[in-house]
Structure 1
């Protein structure tokens, strides 16, 4: 498609966009009495208008039924989480029994490490990307130390080549081969939070397995953003948050995936709790744990229904739209944003560099040469909500569910004024 840097062209794209109506399903903050241009769905998604309805249903059932809501609410609380599994499985390319929702992301990664990081004196190393999201770094280091190893020796960081802003798949595969028999686990962010790069999860998973390692993925910036085929790629486990592209609310519940080959087994070490016990016998209060035959075996406590409600509301929308349609729009919308950035770069004295490679979802990370935080503050004051990362990078996530092509054009105009 031949793009044009005009409002008329952008509006024409919006008129042709089959998903444009979903913009009306979200609540936008306002600056100067105008809806903001919202580029931080990779940090916190906007609130779907129907989220309040789903939360209110739970609150009303609590008021009217109290404890009886567990079994007699319209959506009974004791199995509320089951409603999320099938639509969420379609988002991440899994089978419904391989997916569940519980806790929060780093909590779930720790719990999954109990099962899938089983080091010994020979096989104890973990491969992750350099400068992974800090929570992942802390989690991995603490797990390694818990098992009695030195993080400096046990954690192998994938580094970019000098002068490059992205990782090369061949370098990842070479590192897996190099670590070889000492490799216990590969655990990487499927989409890097800083530069927006999408890793070749299929190839890396296969390479990890060939080396005799377990392969897991942190999909915080991937779920609801890119095409995932966790089951077909034979991924061992994965976890993600729900408040970024999945629009479930701040700090909300995490999803997990566990490959079906691990389900129904009693020989897998894990931390166990009441809600992972056989559903049909749960209230018999038996002393011996009998795991659920699906990913719910990793549940500990009863579900946090109020937090699951807005997640379910958002998943209903994802199910209606479908990931294929979202990804199709995402590619065009992100490409148009890239075009706008390049057009602005031609017109201003300041220069900037897009760090994000072509292997991407709906995020562009832009390095502003010679510019400080003042440009970020200018954008925010003028109704463009972006994310700032030191030393001078802004992250832009044009989420296809609620961002428009005219947003991309208007952003270019605001940016040009701020850099002029």
Structure 2
């Protein structure tokens, strides 16, 4: 992919980042997306340039890499690599998930952490940005193996985190089971029931209602606001949701509740199309309880079929919600969506749309929401979980969901107003990048050179 053209000052920043972070292509992509938005900001605010805010923002405050040895069920010692990148704490304690997946390396963690800084800023809540994880693959591992890995991982991580320092949560490969094992080891080592040190906990031991649903629900709430711009709603809309993990399942559930029809979902083995609408409860059981491949959904179902190759973006839809992983929606997929008259694309995953695909969608008049805005509902409810832990309180599902809806409405309004203020009305990418950046940059200026 060709790097975007930048003003000379920003090009110098980019060259420095490329030189200091060789080979970290996902991190480079995330930084480029922000830099290309910031020219108008730096013209108005030369004090950001004088204080080297961009250079400081692109350099994590702390990068932690550690060995994670553990014993598998056959008595063999396995060794993985653990990461925690504490990117920016200008607005509050570092906050961001842990990802357990074979693709994890420092560049992935830095891209996710950099995105998290702006995403957390947009929520309006007092949280900084960080991210972590490991190249450990929980898929196919027994509960005992996952527990031993998590205990070893936390035996190192515990010394770097705390409810006022750094608060991890889950991400790909880290669900309620993993958070439970991690929290148990943290409690054992520290001899404290410090519930606010991890979020995504079980409801009986400090978790928040709607946390499981929050990222998917929040993505749909944001898309609902975008549809309203076009005087439309989800009622009767055909919706394609890529992925079938936590974010995808609960995005699909909320679409269904709002009257939309989810016609396709996917996993790494292909995608299923159901013209009658995906049965979300069946899909939840299939993926969350049975941990089966998505192809099983189509077995014995006359309205559905499975496609093992091709692209889910070829399925005609009014709304597309990429909820699987980074760079899953390429230019060819964007062109297919445009041909099929898709109206709205809202990212449920982190950076799932390639830069050329994003540009094509925007040029075609498709309303496009970047993940740092549309999928920030997960971290928003994580922050609400921290509030409840701090006050020893527990809120109802309805109350928490309403807080989430209000936060997402606020994020939408912030992005829309910022885009209008800077002369790019309707461009939610630039609106999100500028709004997130300005808030963090102003806090950094106030705190001095640290």
* TM-score (structure 2 length as normaliser): 0.30
Question: Relative contact order (alpha carbons < 8 A, sep ≥ 6): 1 or 2 greater?
Answer: 1
* TM-score (structure 1 length as normaliser): 0.32
Q: Which has the larger radius of gyration?
A: 1
Greater helix percent: which structure? 2
